[in-house]
Amino acid sequence: MSETKKSFFERFQTFMEEKLLPVGTAISNQRHLASIRDGMTILIPLTIIGGFAILLAVPPVPATVTEPSNFLYAFLLAWQAWAGAHSQILLIPYYLSIGCISLYVVAGIAYFLSKRYGLNTINNVVGALFVFLIVSNAVDISTGSINMGMLGAGYMFGAIIIAILCVEINRFFAEKNITIKMPDSVPPNVAAPFIVLIPMIFEVVVFSLINSLITSWTGAGITSLIFTLFQPLLKATNSLPSILFLMLLSTLFWFFGIHGDNMTSPITSPIITANLAANLAAYQAGQPLEFIMAGNLAVYGGWITYHAYVVAMMFFCKSEQLRTLPKISAIPSLFNINEPNVFGVPTVLNVFTLIPSIICLVINLTAYYLLAAANIIGKPFLTLPFTTPVAIQAFLSTMDFRNAILVIVLFFVDLAIAVPFMRAYDKQLLAQENASKAE
């Protein structure tokens, strides 16, 4: 008897398991990309603190508001006057967080990569920071000061490359045992600085020479050159096709029970963080915000759809499995913790949720992108904890109430799309439950 012909879904599932998953797993486990992912996580509290410092120092007061004609206008004008009087103090957290964010990128990536290699983490972090400060051309010898502008988000990609190269050089010297030999009687904590001395001298000399040559040829240092080279990438990823591709890829990983955000974050985190910092700097300067791919795109993507699934289960499903699950998952879902739904519905390997998830994602992100591009709604310039409810997060990240309205509208659109699929899935589960009871 001939083998039964596989359905389209079975062929698609086989393709994903055989082709996409190995690639995704390899990317997730690749030590350099994993170190970038882990190193970028230390930026989250810094971007939150720095963002709200800017918001306090530069209140969102429309130019048309000049008189305290009502309570809101009176509050905004009072806030503006207070911020103007205390801006020097309020801006310190911003300049020491987002203003020199590339320093934290160097430290984070050097730490996690050296840890993966089993190297001394502190020595590698200090060495990478030292080299980055040299090649950033941030030091003004004439005044003995550091130009903070050369340490900001624009130079983040240079920071990533410098951190990786410094750790790799240290690893090479350690593996080849090219180091200052200390007697066994010397305590490890005393010997450690001497062990890293030779590779650090090598890094300083080599990177200083290369930076001097590049500066003499181009008028800018290594990190500035890298910033220029990466500009086309930042522009390209700010397009709707790029955003849809990355978010759909994350959705497909979630479909197979793999944390999609962790899989794509080595690529997306540096770009989104750089874009967010650029938007924040533009907000501080009173200029139009440029980047749409900034902040947490899941606010307009899968999080709304999961809310729709929860409501659909609560009011439109009859099976015991789907009626019971919201009692457990509704509150976590409100705070964007959707694992109970991912593994409880489950959405893993479930075509009844994959199809509406993709449809909703495309509709949601397209609506958000087009409205933001037309300046009908705001673009993000603030970071909030991911557990902030979506409508609140949409408003606070942009300080534009229209973003919150969009989230609410998209929720009802997603609900209308999700209900037919959830009812079909519910019908299947109900039949299975009735069959089990009849046995």
In a domain, residue 28? The reply is no
Distance (Å, whole) CA 108 – CA 44 = 12
| Confidence class for position 179, pLDDT limits 50, 70, 90 | confident
Alpha-carbon gap, residue 6 to 15, rounded angstroms: 12
Angular region, 378: left φ>0, alpha ψ -120 to 50, beta rest: beta
Domain that holds residue 265: 238-438
- Name the most confidently modeled range: 168-182, 378-392, 403-417: 403-417
> Are residues 249 and 381 part of one domain?
yes
Same-domain check for residues 218 and 248? no
What does residue 140 show for φ and ψ, rounded to 5 degrees? Answer: -100, 105
First to last CA, the chain: 32
Q: Which pLDDT band, with edges at 50, 70 and 90, does 401 fall under? A: very high
Residues 291, 413 within the same domain = yes
Biggest alpha carbon distance in the chain? 87
Alpha-carbon Rg of the chain, whole angstroms? Answer: 26
Rounded Cα distance between 222 and 214, Å, is: 7
pLDDT at residue 163 greater than cutoff 80: yes
| Mean of pLDDT values over 306-311 | 94
Number of domains in the chain: 2
Q: How far apart are CA 412 and CA 311, in angstroms?
A: 10
Which of 202, 230, 258 is at the close of a domain? Answer: 230
CA gap 76, 82 in Å, rounded: 10
In a domain, 10, yes or no: no
Lowest mean pLDDT among 125-129, 255-259, 280-284, 315-319: 255-259
103 and 203 in a common domain: yes
Q: How confident is the model at residue 67 (pLDDT cuts 50, 70, 90)?
A: confident
Boundary of a domain, candidates 230, 252, 287? 230
**Boundary (domain end) residue, out of 170, 205, 230:** 230
**Which of 140-144, 173-177, 254-258 is predicted with the least confidence, judged by mean pLDDT?**
254-258
Whether residues 216 and 250 fall in one domain: no
Q: Are residues 186 and 252 in the same domain?
A: no
183 Rama sector, left if φ>0, alpha if ψ -120 to 50, beta otherwise: beta
Per the structure block, which two tokens stand in for 376? Answer: 């009908």
- Tokens representing residue 187 in the block: 């305590």
Residue 311: predicted pLDDT? 95
Q: What is the C-alpha to C-alpha distance for residues 215 and 161, in angstroms, rounded to an integer?
A: 18
Residues 393, 252: one domain?
A: yes
Instruction: Say if residue 201 is in the same domain as residue 243.
Output: no
* pLDDT score, position 339: 84
In a domain, 215, yes or no: yes
pTM summary value: 0.81
